[in-house]
Each structure stands twice: as structure tokens, then as C-alpha cells.
Structure 1
Amino acid sequence: MYSRILKTATYYLIPVLLLFSVFILLRGHYKPGGGFVGGLIASIAFVMHSFANSVEKTIRLLRHHPFKLIPVGLIVSFVSAVAPLFLGQPVMTGLWYNEPVPIIGMIGSALFFDLGVYILVIGVTLTILFTISQSTK
């Protein structure tokens, strides 16, 4: 089904949704939000693109199949969780950089854990939805 209205709306909404998902990701280690919710919002943007165009064009836009994002997200989260062990602290202890970074604020291991979850959620969500979409054709 081709819809010029959906295609035009998608053209404007995808950047807004992706920017909002990054905002939610960065807000998450201080307030509610974070990697899971931000990843779902980013996934919605790509699902909307696949509705307006096709799954194949969305995968080309991503440049890689979303399945490849899953191990990347797991590795980033795992490394941020076990990094305190190398400093003699318990697993998942928050490590923080002393100086705030403009726009982002304080950078710590919680942000990297959220980033891993963000990447993982995008990979899992898009893999499931694209697999279902491609198998029903």
C-alpha cells in the first residue's frame, strides 16, 4: 500500500523521533527514561519508515541488518557493568567522571549501560518486527 501522506509525514517525523529518543536516553541516568524507552522510540521511527517505504529500504537505510546490533548492545552493557571489578569494586557500581560535560551532564558507567540497552532494544525490536513482516509476504 502506497500512501503519499504517510511517506511525507515519515520524512519529517523520523528525525524528530530519533532526536527525542536520544533525549530520553540521556535523561535516563538522572530521571525516568533511559535506554529501554529511548530504544523503543527509535525503533518506532524505523518501523514507521518501513511502513512508508519497505523493510528492505529500511534495512538499507540502517546499512546493516538490525540483528547485528544485538551483540554490540550486549557487549557495551556487559563491559560497563563489569568495569568496576577492575577497580576493586562490586559489579555495577557507578563510576563517574568528575567534570560535567556540556549538554550531557555527568558521564558515568550508568550512561554506557543505558547506551548498551538502547542499542540492544533497537536491535531486538527491529529484528522481531522485520522478521515477522518478511515472513508474511
Structure 2
Amino acid sequence: MKTLILATLLRALTPLFISFALYMFFRGHDKPGGGFIAGLIASIPFMLHAMVFGYERTRQVFRVKPTILAALGLLMALLSGFFAVLKGEPYLTSAWVTQELPLVGKIGTPIFFDFGVLLVVFGVVLQITFLLTEE
């Protein structure tokens, strides 16, 4: 289903989708948003790429296996809770850095959990997309 219009739009919109996903990710650990919605938004350009250019070309562009990303994300989300255990607190208790970062805000263990969720969602959506588009 390759058309010039869709291919051109995809090239133009991919950086916007990725930028918006990053915005939602960094905004979400403190406000609505976060890893889940960021993972969905980040996967949209790759889903469109698979629809426009086909499975084989998309696999050439995206060389990492989506299941590996999902597994790494799950591991990261699980490990983010152990910072609290090391301090003698219950698993998944948040720990925060006292200094705020410009444009990001407070940094703490929830950002690692959210990034793990982002990788899981991104990997699962891509795997489903690849399974549906492969011939």
C-alpha cells in the first residue's frame, strides 16, 4: 500500500510522534500521561511504516526484536521497586531526588518504572503489528 503521500507524511510525522511521546513520558511521572500512553504514541510511526512499506522493510529499519524490548521493560519496571527495599521500605515505594530538573520536574524511581512500562507497551504493540503484517 505504498503511496508517495503516505510515505512523505510518515517521514514528516515520525519525529513529531516521537517528540510527543517523550513529552508525555516526562510529564506523566508527575501528572497525567506516563509510560503507557508514551509507548502507544511512540509505536504509531512504526505501525504506519509497516502498513505503508510492508513488514520486511520495517524489520530492516527496526532491527531490535520487539519481544526483547518488552522483556527489558518488564525487568526495568520490576527492578525499579528494589530501590525502596534496599532502604528498608516496602517494595515499589517511591524515592525522589530533592533537586528538580528543568522541563522534567522531580526525578525518582517512578520514572524508571514508567520507562519500563513504555518499553513493554512499545514492544508488545510492535510485535502485534509485525505478526499482523507479516506474510
Q: TM class, shorter-chain normalised?
A: over 0.9
Q: Could you say which residue in structure 2 is the equivalent of 1:91?
A: 91
1:123 aligns to 2:123 (yes or no):
yes
Which sits farther off after the overlay, 102-111 or 38-47?
102-111
Q: Could you say which residue in structure 1 is the equivalent of 2:55?
A: 55
TM-score normalised according to structure 2 size = 0.94
Give unmatched runs, 5+ long, in structure 1.
none
Q: Could you say which residue in structure 1 is the equivalent of 2:103?
A: 103
Q: Could you say which residue in structure 2 is the equivalent of 1:40?
A: 40
Q: What is the percentage of aligned positions where both structures have the same residue? A: 38
**Partners of 1:21 and 1:42 within 8 A in 2:** yes
SS at match of 1:58: helix
Q: Could you say which residue in structure 2 is the equivalent of 1:80?
A: 80
TM-score normalised according to structure 1 size = 0.93
Residue 83 of structure 1: CA displacement? 1.9
Query: 1:59-110: CA deviations, max 9, x gaps?
Result: 2222212111011101110111222101100111110111112222211011
The Cα RMSD (Å) is: 1.1
Q: Could you say which residue in structure 1 is the equivalent of 2:28?
A: 28
Q: Could you say which residue in structure 2 is the equivalent of 1:17?
A: 17
- Partner Cα distance (1:97, 1:113) in 2: 15
**Partners of 1:25 and 1:114 within 8 A in 2:** yes
**Partners of 1:97 and 1:106 within 8 A in 2:** yes
The code of the aligned residue for 2:118 comes to: Y
- Partner Cα distance (1:102, 1:26) in 2: 11
**Partners of 2:24 and 2:33 within 8 A in 1:** yes
The code of the aligned residue for 1:39 comes to: G
Which sits farther off after the overlay, 113-122 or 57-66?
57-66
